[in-house]
Structure 1
């Protein structure tokens, strides 16, 4: 009987994947035909300022659909995990900053009672005495930052995890947020996947107990914690989502060591390249009356820099190469510095402002490019050039003195440390698994303000990763993994397209701005099949899953997505910090206050859409009498299409109104720090 049931399940899964692929292909074909027609035959260039943005937004949506189709093309529906080997050691990490002590205690108690033998640790980034007392009372471990972190960058949750990694020793790590209450069997169900020695991560869904079936805040994300993660799993690209996940310590430590070595090699290589340029310029500037020994020293060091770079290219250890070159520089400096001490002092005094500044990057140490360029292009006296090269080599901070730990296994490049860490693990050849079983239950945001703060953090971190480590160019990723990561990043660019999709029907019905030159039968024949097939694809992919809420928030949170992209770009390109206030979750007994200041862009568009829809209906009902904004003959098809478009946009945006008044029904007041200044 069990075999028959398994066979039936496999057959249903195969049939479903087949239907998904058929719908995906048909949707993309219909979309491609429509977009080609839009670009080639239907743009009204008389109103190019809306016509061009609209067709670009539609093209963006088609590419988004293509990436979604790629993601779910190889959906992997896993069964039970293999039986885990006996004796596997596990550390359970509960990360907390300022969550209520009673919440931390409840999670710690449940974690302590997990059946598989393990050690439970509360990682208290707030160093609170009451949390230490809870740990002692429950008999679990307690860890806070060591003194090494004083005065250093803390890197939020990533720093908290890295600090704990170097104070514990379990082979595997179960990571839980302070509100995620684990089931006793969580490790029994997940550890078996690590029987494959190449698996570094097993992720299970995040599920929330304080969310109603209506879920107006869209917290459960059943499409992501289901078809999307299963689709990514098919490409070996299942994401680490920060909690309810088990990781292999060996994989994390290898990642940290590899990152440290790469960063050190990059810094040494950069200093060698600049040193070679400095020495070459000094060599060309030697005068005939310069000492022969000085000429020989500069030439020898320039050749030594060439040789050192060649040795790095051939794979020799960076420590050996840099040490040999440093010794050569020191020898030349000691033997010749007395001959031109005054010239050296003059050069150093004159160019003190050009001293290369070392920037503490979370992935290593880099040089300020402008300062290095000035150093390389400056005409140095021969002996000053030698001294400057020596300073460059000494400036390579091998010990990462600006960081509490020289090795950071969990990435701190972005405020979404989970995605970047997972992507780097995949680039190193490690595997991930998505285990589709709810094994921990947490608390979702209880009001719109908290939800927006949380989504902004996610989007900002994702954009940081895109701008710093583009998966399309990151070495080591396979094509399917590249597209899986890029699909998630691409989806956060939807804010600009959403503005166009909201503005277009308003502009047409109120001002007569016509982005499409053909609203007749050709438009309907090409657009309607594309739209219907696209919705059918979502219905098949999300069969049995409520996906509509996710589609609504893709459009309704457009100000959040735009802000995330702008602030992330400012952070990456100009060094501006990412910061926003911690949001307190209110108890359900408090009377909700309408947060108009948080959603004024959506309210403005909804007002415009209502006016536009009413105008369009009146125009159709009283031909010639009401024709506000529409110049020339009225195109009934165009008016109908845009009225329906406006109504659809209003239905989508209506979720933001429900969310504005929403409070979770259970009294589960919680303060959570989703993000601190980065």
Structure 2
């Protein structure tokens, strides 16, 4: 046991101990015989919560520490992309990502939609095409059909919307040196952060995804128990292992976990490589999200009837616990329904699930609740967000109940493909359960206040507690309804959030405009561009996009500009934001943009926004980084700069932060510490020419992204910089003026 895990494990033990004490106290002293149904219902929900928390904590006891072994060369690998009705533009991105993986392999499109147009175009992508006449067993049958049609020793599976990084196989294939390893699973990451499953704070450089706690915490910890499982995509299999169990498991709509249990029962091992090596599309709206969730819930609960991990032979004790935990986790709908509606029922009926809301119960309940909240948050190592988790449980509890009832009644499950099309707001039918919870909660609150106001009941403590929890549940319902019904911007293709330098010009005007700007977001159809000079709305604009070592020259048209009300006063008429649409890009040029977005922008975004720190470290850094402790504070500002070598442009980049004494930027090539760089910095108030020394250089994303920290040594006046690199006269005016204005917000 490593020392660094002991604090988390101690928190787990203390939290479960307090929960158990509270539960025993509840059973012995607080059952209300006058409202026995309410009382036993509430006790069931709390007992369910204890078992669920125990199973969750068992799974996250300790993460496995793995480092990718070097790849085995000379192995035969087939890559499968199963598809049914996904848009070909989505499938193309996945296919090109697969084809561009460096390790030698063959890529197959497995088309269950039997589309002739896809058969023709697959070859141009560098893929082979396999189809079949019937769709028996859905995705599992499609994969098994491909296994019979190919013969490579290793098989990689990607869903139609999952785009791998070039080094995917380099990072995973080496694990198969162990002859008992059946599969290697990697995390699922979703790049469309505008989906309602995300919360993103660009100012704080933080984002939260509903599935973070599963892929970033639970799966690495399950790997410690040799209980990680195949999650349907972004995984590598040993063909021999699949043949040992007769192929991908059928008979259950969640073929992934079913296949895993069969593999473990035969003595095979699974590996979880905890590094994002591919990126997919999250469900964009509530309807498709619930379609996906219902399929997962039905299939996982269905394991109670097919390959039940408690009884199937060959599993270890820890594997049985971990896989039963998966099943039990999907049964949370019933206790959540009790928690959501019991407080308003108390107010409306006058019946209490607790014998007496006296001081003895209140202090124990407060202690229990506080320990559970703090212990859960601490044990989750920064990945658990209680408010967000509860909000999503409010949106999903009815789906969990539906899945459980369908399994109990043994109703037939149907595999439905999750839609990846245009995002749409939820309609009223989809939010009926949450609307009813909201109605009953606020109805109960109103009735409770009336009872107190008119003296119908003197029980201020009991009614107060019920009103408080009714308000909390009503707030969760309202916030969820607001989230999924708000109007969405109807852009079909997601824009990747990232800053790249862009040179722009309008050669057709007499007073030619030429400058360098920076992007806010980008995809193969257009770009949001920040400029320091106005652009015309009715003329073609020439752009040069700096995509690492590639410079893509193209034309674009400005479709809109940000309203002045969205711009700070000190930047009016000095900085502009335009939405540009690319014109007449070739398919190869669009592919170049897509490859840059998936291979560079997404990894940099994850590195920047995906950091997790403990509460104590956050407080420490906030205190130490306070402005009063630093003479020159770095501002997180993205502006373009050009780096020169022997008087010629060598690298065009974008700053991460900047002050009057230095800056940092991200380079796609490594640079040596101590090197003196000459730079041209673009600001809304003019250019600034400087020399600086590299003080820091470190790799932040494997192979193509390096953090470079610069300390300024000399500033130049513009004309002197052009005439002679040896002139040493200071001219910080434009940079100092801008940073001062940004800091104060004044003109």
| Both structures adopt the same fold (TM-score exceeding 0.5) | yes
Q: How far apart, in 2, do the equivalents of 1:503 and 1:143 lie?
A: 51
Contact kept, 8 Å, 1:33 with 1:526, in 2: the verdict is no
Query: Of residues 254, 258, 262 in structure 2, which corresponds to 1:416?
Result: 254
Aligned to 1:512: 350
Separation in 2, partners of 1:444, 1:214:
9
Question: How far has the Cα of 1:220 moved from its partner?
Answer: 4.7
Of 584, 587, 596 in structure 1, the residue corresponding to residue 422 of structure 2 is 587
User: Aligned pair 1:56/2:38, yes or no?
Assistant: no
Q: Distance in 1 between matches of 2:399 and 2:122?
A: 38
Which of 465, 473, 488 is the matching residue for 2:326? 488
Q: Do residues 35 (structure 1) and 35 (structure 2) align?
A: no
1:577 matched residue in structure 2: 412
Change (3 A) 1:579 1:158: closer
The answer on whether the counterparts of 1:114 and 1:182 sit within 8 Å (CA) in structure 2 is: yes
| Contact 2:310-2:320 at 8 Å conserved across structures | yes
Matching of residue 141 in structure 1 with residue 123 in structure 2: no
| Secondary structure in structure 1 of the residue aligned to 2:158 | strand
How many Å separate the matches in 1 of 2:417 and 2:81? 20
For residues 152-204 of structure 1, the C-alpha deviation after alignment (integer angstroms, 9 at most, x for no partner) is x7000000000001111112111000000111000111112222211111111
Output the CA distance in 1 between the equivalents of 2:57 and 2:294: 25
Query: What residue in structure 1 maps to residue 441 of structure 2?
Result: 609
Cross-structure match for 1:92: 79
Q: Please tell me whether the aligned partners of residues 97 and 126 of structure 1 are also in contact (alpha carbons under 8 angstroms).
A: yes
Distance 1:244 1:643 in 2: 47
Deviations, residues 547-586 of structure 1 (Å, cap 9, x unaligned): 3433432343111011101112333xxxx42248766555
Q: Whole-Å Cα distance in 2 between the matches of residues 664 and 434 of structure 1?
A: 37
Aligned equivalent of 1:658:
483
Going from structure 1 to structure 2, the CA distance change for 1:472 and 1:520 (only over 3 Å counts) comes to same
Alignment of 1:161-310 (within 5 A): 161-212=143-194, 215=197, 220-256=210-246
Asked if 1 retains the 8 angstrom alpha-carbon contact of 2:343 and 2:470, the reply is yes
Q: Tell me how far apart the structure 2 counterparts of residues 233 and 665 of structure 1 sit (CA, whole Å).
A: 40
How far apart are residue 61 of structure 1 and its match? 0.5
CA 1:418 to 1:581, structure 2 compared with 1: closer, same or farther past 3 Å?
closer
TM-fit CA distance, 1:21: 1.1
Aligned to 2:315: 477
Q: CA deviation at 1:512?
A: 0.6
| Cα distance in structure 1, aligned partners of 2:94 and 2:428 | 35
The offset of 1:219, in angstroms, is: 5.9
Paired with 1:215 and 1:584, the residues of 2 have a C-alpha distance of 15
Residue in 1 aligned with 2:113? Answer: 126
Cross-structure match for 2:467: 643
Q: Does structure 1 retain, via aligned residues, the 8 Å contact 2:154–2:239?
A: yes
Q: How far does residue 413 in structure 1 lie from its aligned partner after superposition?
A: 1.7
Query: Equivalents in 2 of 1:615, 1:661: separation in Å?
Result: 30
Secondary structure (helix, strand or coil) at the match of 2:183 reads strand
CA distance in 2, matches of 1:63, 1:546: 18
Q: How far, CA to CA, are the matches of 1:46 and 1:33 in structure 2?
A: 24
Matching residue of 1:327: none
Secondary structure of 1:240's aligned partner: coil
1:23 pairs with 2:23: no
Q: 1:663: how far off?
A: 4.4
Question: Gaps spanning 5+ residues in structure 2: where?
Answer: 200-207, 495-747
Which residue pairs with 1:117 in the alignment? 104
- Cα distance in 1 for partners of 2:17, 2:487 equals 40
Residues 196-239 of structure 1: CA deviation (Å, up to 9, x unaligned)? 21111111111111123873598650000111111211110001
Q: Distance in 2 between matches of 1:244 and 1:236?
A: 18
8 Å CA contact 1:447, 1:663 repeated in 2: no
1:65 match:
53
TM-score, scaled relative to structure 2: 0.62
Q: What is the match of residue 693 of structure 2?
A: none
1:515-536 Cα shifts (integer Å, max 9, x gaps): 1012122222222222222222
Paired position in structure 1 for 2:492: 667
- Secondary structure, in 3 states, of the residue corresponding to 1:444? coil
Alpha-carbon distance in structure 2 between the residues aligned to 1:25 and 1:93: 44
Separation in 2, partners of 1:71, 1:244: 22
1:330 maps to none
* Contact kept? 1:210, 1:666, Cα under 8 Å: no
Contact 2:394 2:434 in 1 (8 A): no
| RMSD, aligned α-carbons | 2.2
> What secondary structure is seen at the aligned counterpart in 1 of 2:409?
helix
Match of residue 467, structure 1, among 305, 321, 326: 305
For residues 35 and 4 of structure 2, the distance between their equivalents in structure 1, rounded to whole angstroms, comes to 44
Looking at structure 1, the residues matched to 209 and 161 of structure 2 have their Cα atoms a distance apart, in angstroms, of 14
Q: Structure 1 residues 584 and 181, CA, compared in 2 at 3 Å: closer, same or farther?
A: closer
In structure 2, distance between residues paired with 1:120 and 1:468: 32
The farther-off stretch of 134-143 and 542-551 is: 542-551
Query: Is the Cα contact below 8 Å between 2:158 and 2:234 reproduced in 1?
Result: yes
Shift, 1:433, TM fit: 1.2
Question: Who is 2:138 aligned against?
Answer: 156
1:266 maps to none
Q: Secondary structure at the match of 1:95?
A: strand
SS in 1 for 2:28: helix
Residues 1:69 and 1:583: Cα distance change in structure 2 (over 3 Å): closer
Distance 1:580 1:506 in 2: 37
Q: Compute the displacement of 1:544 (Å).
A: 3.6
Distance 2:42 2:155 in 1: 48
How far has the Cα of 1:467 moved from its partner? 2.1
Q: CA deviation at 1:542?
A: 3.2
Alignment of 1:315-464 (within 5 A): 409-464=247-302
Structure (1/2) with the larger helix percentage: 1
Count of residue pairs the alignment pairs up? 484
Is residue 431 of structure 2 the alignment partner of residue 599 of structure 1?
yes
1:350 — aligned with what? none
Among 34, 39, 44, which residue is 2:32 paired with?
44
| Cα 1:432/1:665, change in 2 over 3 Å | farther
Structure 1: unaligned runs, 5 residues or longer: 1-12, 257-408, 628-632, 670-678
